[in-house]
Amino acid sequence: MLQKSGWLWVIGLIVVLVSVIFGLTFLAYATPKEEEYVWVSAWTEIPYMIDHKLGVRIAGEELGVKTRCVGPVGGDIAGMISTLEQVIAEKPAGILVVGVDPALKEPIDRAIEQGIPVITLDADVPASKRYTFIGTGNYNAGLKGGEILAKAIGYKGEVALLTTPGLSNLQERVRGYKDALAKYPGIKIVAIGDDKADHAVAATATAAILQAHPNLAGIGCVDAGGGAGAAVAVKEAGKVGKIKIVAMDRDEITLDYIKKGIIYASIAQKTALMSYLGVKLLYSLNHNPIPITTDNVKAGVIPLPRYIDTGIEIITKENVDFWYHKK
């Protein structure tokens, strides 16, 4: 026969074991292992998207959920819409859309109507029913780029801009550049080139601009492909130092040109933060929605911010070493 203290020990052990078993069972059901959040873009191959994918992966690992990054290459909007249609049919827990084209409105709205929350990243589709836009304040990014370029050329001279026409986020950056440069009577924008967000195309476009405007003093770039391409053309023209280049973003080639002094500076976005916050907000909406009202659903209230500006940073020769991606 066990003494009273012995029985108490046995009972305590049983209670602990039952608690552990119940806890593990609860966690097995509570952990959303099959839950998936999907990121969709029209450019999945360009270096700029490294950070987008990084943010998605880190957030998924922290939350213990599945994540996936899908989409075509080369800015294929029709292919992106087709991919988005397929993702909607799979009924994921949430979708992150790089909203580069107004044509994305219809599938975004349909996803929302089917109960799939959607957040746009980097570029917005403001006419859609998306819940939140997370990205750079694009007008302010262009404004800052214009100010840096104006200072670099001594507030006078001819300048050119490189962009990819038709993309809402880039249009806002161009508008910011124009407004910044318009403050200085000595500066004149003489050309706006189409670089198609591609280094090689940007080099060709810049070479043509340099031929037409041999007195060019500066080049402002509003997408990731412009800076490196402009640097190639300026170097080949023998005008390094004479023409100041303000690039956009942080691909390795751009960083190398900053380090060599061919690119004056680059406007860096906090890209990984966009997609990281996107996954986190979608997860929070699904699991821990903030009670803005006593019943958000019936009140028609989405407990998320409509807009989050993740801000910009300036990359120069002094801090460029910190911006390289880890191998």
Whether 67 and 110 map to the same domain: the answer is: yes
Strands (DSSP E) along the chain, which ranges?
Answer: 36-40, 66-70, 94-97, 118-121, 132-135, 157-163, 187-194, 216-221, 244-248, 265-269, 307-309, 312-315
Residue 193 maps to a domain:
yes
Whether 51 and 121 map to the same domain: the answer is: yes
pLDDT score at 12: 46
pLDDT score at 166: 85
Whether 220 and 109 map to the same domain: the answer is: no
Residue 236 or residue 32, greater confidence = 236
Residue 16 or residue 299, greater confidence = 299
Residue 209 or residue 297, greater confidence = 209
The arithmetic mean of pLDDT across residues 16-44, rounded, is: 62
pLDDT score at 197: 87
pLDDT score at 5: 47
Q: What is the SS3 assignment for 207?
A: helix
- Model pTM score: 0.82
Token match 């640097």: residue? Answer: 231
Q: What band does 7 get if pLDDT is binned at 50, 70 and 90?
A: very low
Whether 167 and 92 map to the same domain: the answer is: no
From CA 266, how far away is CA 258, in angstroms rounded? 8
Whether 276 and 246 map to the same domain: the answer is: no
Q: What is the pLDDT of residues 131-147, one digit of tens each?
A: 999 999 999 999 999 99
Whether 70 and 187 map to the same domain: the answer is: no
Residue 301 maps to a domain:
no
pLDDT score at 46: 87
Residue 83 maps to a domain:
yes
- Residue 17: is its pLDDT beyond 80? no
Residue 159 maps to a domain:
yes
pLDDT score at 163: 97
What CA–CA distances, in Å, run from 103 to 176, 183, 185, 206?
A: 24, 35, 39, 30
Q: What is the pLDDT of residues 153-204, one digit of tens each?
A: 999 999 999 999 988 889 999 999 999 999 999 999 999 999 998 999 999 9
The arithmetic mean of pLDDT across residues 214-231, rounded, is: 96
Amino acid identity, position 299: A
Strands (DSSP E) along 11-142, which ranges?
Answer: 36-40, 66-70, 94-97, 118-121, 132-135
Whether 122 and 105 map to the same domain: the answer is: yes
Whether 222 and 249 map to the same domain: the answer is: yes
Q: What is the CATH number of the domain that holds 111?
A: 3.40.50.2300
Residue 19 maps to a domain:
no
From CA 248, how far away is CA 257, in angstroms rounded? 12
Residue 20 maps to a domain:
no
Give the residue among 39, 28, 29 at the shortest CA–CA distance from 69: 39
Q: Which domain holds residue 126?
A: 36-136+271-288
Lowest mean pLDDT among 18-22, 75-79, 197-201, 299-303: 18-22
Q: What is the pLDDT of residues 98-124, one digit of tens each?
A: 998 999 999 999 999 999 999 999 999
Whether 203 and 130 map to the same domain: the answer is: no
Residue 311 maps to a domain:
no
Whether 131 and 279 map to the same domain: the answer is: yes
Lowest mean pLDDT among 25-39, 83-97, 112-126, 288-302: 25-39
Whether 77 and 186 map to the same domain: the answer is: no
Chain mean pLDDT for the chain: 90
- Residue 2: is its pLDDT beyond 90? no
pLDDT score at 33: 59
Residue 121 maps to a domain:
yes
Whether 179 and 281 map to the same domain: the answer is: no
Count how many domains the chain has.
2
Give the residue among 168, 279, 164 at the shortest CA–CA distance from 222: 164
Give the residue among 234, 254, 101 at the shortest CA–CA distance from 164: 101
